[in-house]
């Protein structure tokens, strides 16, 4: 039975996270949450149902509920992540040093070959003593071996006998044979090497064929899977890139990838509850009227005497948010939309409109348009909060308010402006706004809290009060953002600088992508993050001028890419791949957005694979297709960054560059070496290993029993009497062939060498005299020499 996974969710840590997100929890609420957890069956509900127990206790409206659900789901998802097993150092080294591994492979193979050669030399030079069978009867000195039956003659011998004249046997010639008892050391017949080469070569060829076949089969399966998933697929006959590097198909296709909302990752300020309480504070009604119904009821109960009851003196505040949406794709606009969502969730009655440029015509959330004059008539009793820098109030040639717009906005009794311009950059324009009865504050959280308090207390806000309340104020105008150095000076924090540099990895800017990258980097890259994803941090980054566009300028992007650290780039590219995987399932396959996913997924996966080929081995398929994507890509800054050797992930070579082509050439060359070396090993290694195994275990089919190599021996003929003159020659017949050996007429002793005779085979010789008399003799090929005594009378 499969074991269920269990996860421990610390309640205190989760509640602390909720408090850090801007929610105040009292003792009663904590007790209610604990009681709900104790009474509910979490084993049946599962962790996904935890939010349904906690959220009702804390949430006060639908926006709070949505936000709390996202916080709890994200927290549980992080707790459920199972850490991958640690990579073994040896395995990591083997995959990160392919050239060294190849050298080690060659060295190991050569050692095995050397071991086989040494084993061959050792086994062939070693003399193994195999005791031969001793003769059962030792011949006597005066016995005539000729009396024993000679071995059957070979066909060649029979032919010689039949053609020659039958010799006459000299009765005065006697011959005796005596063994020397110095036995020949027989050497067994060794077919070890031949069988090893034969079997090993056959096995090697089969193994090589299987490996090649399986490799091709695996490649085909991968290609098929990639074609189905549309990941790492060569473009082939597909159209070339157009525009910003992504092909377009159809007028109504999704143009770009839309990443899911990530606003729940932002840490809500602790002062949010105070802001909410100020905005919810009821407003007093001046000169309240008489409540007729309650007055009649009270007069009746008072015996008909007139009793007047005043109407209620308090009323709920209503708010109208008017947002400048001139740069809809900018980070500032996205940030302000998030702020308005939070403020709008704090009060009961909220109206929300946006405009572009000058607010003569505004638009609601459903796209319906309305003129500003009509908007005043409809929402005259609302508190107006304008999210803009108020640039449209000033004429282009002089700093005087536009009369028409001024007259319209003055019809709201309560009107406020939240501007993106930081306090040190305020000018006479902001002073004129304040003089015309606008509550003007910068977008910092502390300033918004001050605005909420002023609205609740019908007070005013001065620049001096803002300077006292705000801490760590900074200027934007005093910095140059045309270089990475100017950006560093503005951010004044190395971690913040790396966060902004990570935005250059993806070719487009998108608020949700920025939040995802920042959150991943703060959690996974920096050991002790001194910063959090707070409103003020995001505001400082969103105020960067070139973040108001949909893409970075090429020169800025190149500088940011060059400033990236390897650790930051790895985390950012991993995060982008995860986001692209999520977007893949909800993006039409025939849209430009899907092409963007395909392109960016391949590029990011390739850079990760080139950085660590073992950890990211699942992305090895990018090697086969990256050239196609790279050649058609129109991202100049990224290409320049890589071609100039600025990429921190790709390995450096002798040229100190890390271009994609150089990486592919080096990798292909090394892969070719590995393939050729593998073929040699597959064919050669089985033969060597079989030879060593046969030599150690000596199986019978390799070392046939009772089968020895041919030997050589030397019969020594001692001639007595007048044999020196009488004996003329000797005929040796072995292996079906005859050999005539002439005897010396002067020496009493002759050595008759016999070569290439089977061990223990009967050797047949004939001694011939001048009178054509012959004496046959035979003896086994066991002794290194045999003594033959010939006596002639």
More confidently predicted of 286 and 527: 527
445 neighbors 471 (Cβ within 8 angstroms): no
CA dist., res. 364 & res. 323, Å (int): 10
Checking if the pLDDT of 428 tops 60, the result is: yes
pLDDT tens for residues 369-417? 998 888 988 888 889 999 988 888 775 544 455 677 888 888 888 889 9
Q: What residues contact 216, with CB distance under 8 A and at least 6 apart?
A: none
pLDDT value of position 45: 58
Q: What is the pTM of this model?
A: 0.65
> What is the percent of the chain with per-residue pLDDT over 70, rounded to a whole number?
74
pLDDT tens for residues 150-169? 433 433 333 333 333 444 44
241 neighbors 634 (Cβ within 8 angstroms): yes
Nearest of 443, 438, 470 to residue 454 by alpha carbon: 438
> How large is the C-alpha radius of gyration of the chain?
51
pLDDT tens for residues 296-346? 776 777 766 666 665 555 567 888 999 998 888 899 999 999 888 888 877
CA dist., res. 716 & res. 330, Å (int): 114
Degrees (nearest 5) of the Cα angle 343, 470, 441? 50
pLDDT value of position 488: 92
- Quick one: how far is CA 197 from the chain centroid? 42
Which of 26-35, 443-452, 607-616: highest mean pLDDT?
443-452
Expressed in angstroms, the distance from the first to the final Cα of the chain is: 104
Nearest of 74, 77, 12, 81 to residue 263 by alpha carbon: 74
Checking if the pLDDT of 560 tops 80, the result is: yes
Q: Residue 397 carries which DSSP code?
A: S
Of 19-33, 294-308, 505-519, least confident by mean pLDDT is: 294-308
User: Taking all residues of the chain, what is their mean pLDDT, rounded to a whole number?
Assistant: 77
Is the domain covering 145-188+705-792 a CATH 3.40.50.300 domain?
no
The domain segmentation of the chain, as residue ranges, is 11-80, 87-126+190-226+660-703, 145-188+705-792, 317-469, 479-581
pLDDT tens for residues 144-154? 333 333 433 43
- H, E, C per residue of 477-544: CCCCCCCHHHHHHHHCCHHHHHHHHHCCCCCCCCHHHHHHHHHHHHHHCCCCCCCCCEHHHHHHHHCC
pLDDT value of position 153: 40
pLDDT value of position 1: 40
pLDDT value of position 287: 52
CA dist., res. 205 & res. 213, Å (int): 12
604 neighbors 630 (Cβ within 8 angstroms): no
- H, E, C per residue of 52-109: HHHHHHHCCCHHHHHHHHHHHHHHHHHHHCCCCCCCCHHHHHHHHCHHHHHHHHHHHH
pLDDT value of position 546: 93
pLDDT value of position 225: 60
CA dist., res. 334 & res. 327, Å (int): 10
Is the CA virtual torsion 642, 645, 646, 649 positive or negative? positive
pLDDT value of position 559: 92
Nearest of 733, 741, 746, 744 to residue 781 by alpha carbon: 733
Is the domain covering 317-469 a CATH 3.40.50 domain?
yes
246 neighbors 596 (Cβ within 8 angstroms): yes
Of 506-510, 587-591, 655-659, 748-752, least confident by mean pLDDT is: 655-659
CA dist., res. 514 & res. 334, Å (int): 11
CA atoms within 13 A on the CB side of 385: 25
pLDDT tens for residues 703-730? 777 778 888 888 998 988 888 888 888 9
pLDDT tens for residues 181-230? 788 888 777 677 777 777 777 777 777 777 777 666 666 666 666 555 54
């Amino acid at each position: 039975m499969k074991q269920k996974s269990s996860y421990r969710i610390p309640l205190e840590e989760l509640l602390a996270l909720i408090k850090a997100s801007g929610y105040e929890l009292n003792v009663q609420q904590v007790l209610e949450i604990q009681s709900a957890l104790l009474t509910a069956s979490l084993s049946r509900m599962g962790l996904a149902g935890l939010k349904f127990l906690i959220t009702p206790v804390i949430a006060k409206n639908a926006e709070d509920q949505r936000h709390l659900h996202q916080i709890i789901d994200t927290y549980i998802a992080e707790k459920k992540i199972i850490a991958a097993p640690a990579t073994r150092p040896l395995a990591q080294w083997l995959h990160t040093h392919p050239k060294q591994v190849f050298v080690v492979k060659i060295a190991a193979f050569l050692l095995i070959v050397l071991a086989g050669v040494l084993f061959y030399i050792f086994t062939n030079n070693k003399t193994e003593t195999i005791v031969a069978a001793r003769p059962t009867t030792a011949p006597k000195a005066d016995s005539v071996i000729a009396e024993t039956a000679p071995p059957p003659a070979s066909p060649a011998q029979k032919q010689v006998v039949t053609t020659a004249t039958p010799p006459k046997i000299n009765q005065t010639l006697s011959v005796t044979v005596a063994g020397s008892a110095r036995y020949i050391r027989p050497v067994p017949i060794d077919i070890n090497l031949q069988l090893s080469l034969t079997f090993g070569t056959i096995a090697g060829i089969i193994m090589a064929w299987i490996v090649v076949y399986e490799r091709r089969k695996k490649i085909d399966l991968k290609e098929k899977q990639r074609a189905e998933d549309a990941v790492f697929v060569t473009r082939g006959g597909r159209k070339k890139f157009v525009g910003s590097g992504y092909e377009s198909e159809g007028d109504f296709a999704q143009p770009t990838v839309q990443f899911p909302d990530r606003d729940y990752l932002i840490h809500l300020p602790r002062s949010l509850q105070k802001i909410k309480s100020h905005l919810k504070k009821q407003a007093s009604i001046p000169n309240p009227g008489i409540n007729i119904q309650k007055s009649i009821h009270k007069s009746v109960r008072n015996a008909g005497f007139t009793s007047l009851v005043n109407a209620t003196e308090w009323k709920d505040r209503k708010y109208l948010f008017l947002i400048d949406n001139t740069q809809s794709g900018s980070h500032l606009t996205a940030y302000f939309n998030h702020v308005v969502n939070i403020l709008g969730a704090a009060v009961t009655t909220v109206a929300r409109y946006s405009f572009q440029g000058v607010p003569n015509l505004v638009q609601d959330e459903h796209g319906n348009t309305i003129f500003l004059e009509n908007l005043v008539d409809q929402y005259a009793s609302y508190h107006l909060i304008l999210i803009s820098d108020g640039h449209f109030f000033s004429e282009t040639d002089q700093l005087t308010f536009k009369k028409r717009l001024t007259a319209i906005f003055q019809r709201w009794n309560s009107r406020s402006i939240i501007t993106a311009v930081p306090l040190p950059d305020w000018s006479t324009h902001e002073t004129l706004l304040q003089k015309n009865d606008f509550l003007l504050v910068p977008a910092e959280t502390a300033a918004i809290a001050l605005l909420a308090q002023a609205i609740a207390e019908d007070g005013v806000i001065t620049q001096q009060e803002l300077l006292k309340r705000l801490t760590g104020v900074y200027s934007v105008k005093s910095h140059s953002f045309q270089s990475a150095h100017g950006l560093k000076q503005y951010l004044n924090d190395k971690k913040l600088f790396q966060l902004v540099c990570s935005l250059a990895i993806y070719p487009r800017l998108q608020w949700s992508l920025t939040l995802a990258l920042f959150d991943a980097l703060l959690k996974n890259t920096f050991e002790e993050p001194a910063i959090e994803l707070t409103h003020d941090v995001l505001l400082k980054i969103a105020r960067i001028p070139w973040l108001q566009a949909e893409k970075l300028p090429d020169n800025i992007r190149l500088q940011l890419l060059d400033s990236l650290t390897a650790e930051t780039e790895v985390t950012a590219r991993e995060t982008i791949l995860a986001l692209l995987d999520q977007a893949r399932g909800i993006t039409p396959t025939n849209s430009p957005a899907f092409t963007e996913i395909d392109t960016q997924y391949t590029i990011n996966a390739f850079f990760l694979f080139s950085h660590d080929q073992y950890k990211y081995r699942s992305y090895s398929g990018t090697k086969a297709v990256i050239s196609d994507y790279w050649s058609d890509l129109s991202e100049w800054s990224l290409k320049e960054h890589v071609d100039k050797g600025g990429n921190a992930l790709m390995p450096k070579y002798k040229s100190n560059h890390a271009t994609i082509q150089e990486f592919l050439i080096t990798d292909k060359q090394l892969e070719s070496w590995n393939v050729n070396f593998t073929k040699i090993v597959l064919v050669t290694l089985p033969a060597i290993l079989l030879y060593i195994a046969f030599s150690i275990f000596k199986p019978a089919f390799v070392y046939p029993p009772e089968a020895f190599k041919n030997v050589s021996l030397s019969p020594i003929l001692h001639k007595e009497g007048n044999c020196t003159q009488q004996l003329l020659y000797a005929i040796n017949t072995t292996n079906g062939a005859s050999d005539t050996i002439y005897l010396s007429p002067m020496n009493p002793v002759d050595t008759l060498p016999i070569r290439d005779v089977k061990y223990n085979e009967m050797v047949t010789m004939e001694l011939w005299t001048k009178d054509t008399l012959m004496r046959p003799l035979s003896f086994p090929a066991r002794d290194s020499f045999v003594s033959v005594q010939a006596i002639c009378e």
